Amino acid sequence: MRDTVHEKLRAGRIGADSECGPLCGAFEITGPVGANLRIISSGEDGSGWEHVSVSTDNRTPNWREMAMVKDLFWKDDECVVQYHPPKTLHVNIHPFCLHLWRCVDQPFPMPPIFMV
């Protein structure tokens, strides 16, 4: 994750700074297409994963919104993914929420660049 908090996140923080780090906590910001984005970041909590969830009021966040959130929380050279788990493991607590994940314990495998 980034070392500093972007001003957009600082201005949109809900509540006090989190004890787990400057990028942890809840944020509410305006996305690149004007929608209100609600963001919850747990950062790296000892699990070996960094995690950020993004939701809107009435639809699933789009690519531009998720890319903006990725850029606000992670460095340009960090690989971040969205998972589509098997249906037997799928949990849906909020119908308009997507998640970004980054493994911090090991390099993340990526397909050949021509396939991305």
CB of 85 closer than 8 Å to CB of 115: no
Q: What confidence tier does 112 reach under pLDDT thresholds 50, 70, 90? A: very high
The CATH classification number of 7-105 equals 3.40.1720
For 25-51, write each residue's pLDDT tens digit.
Answer: 999 999 999 999 999 999 777 889 999
Cα separation of 3 and 73, whole Å?
A: 9
- Count CB neighbours of 97 within 10 A: 15
**Closest C-alpha to 65, from 82, 48, 90:** 82
For 63-90, write each residue's pLDDT tens digit.
Answer: 999 999 999 999 999 999 999 889 898 8
Burial class (CB in 10 A: 0-12, 13-18, 19+), 103: middle
Global pTM?
0.90
Domain residue ranges in the chain: 7-105
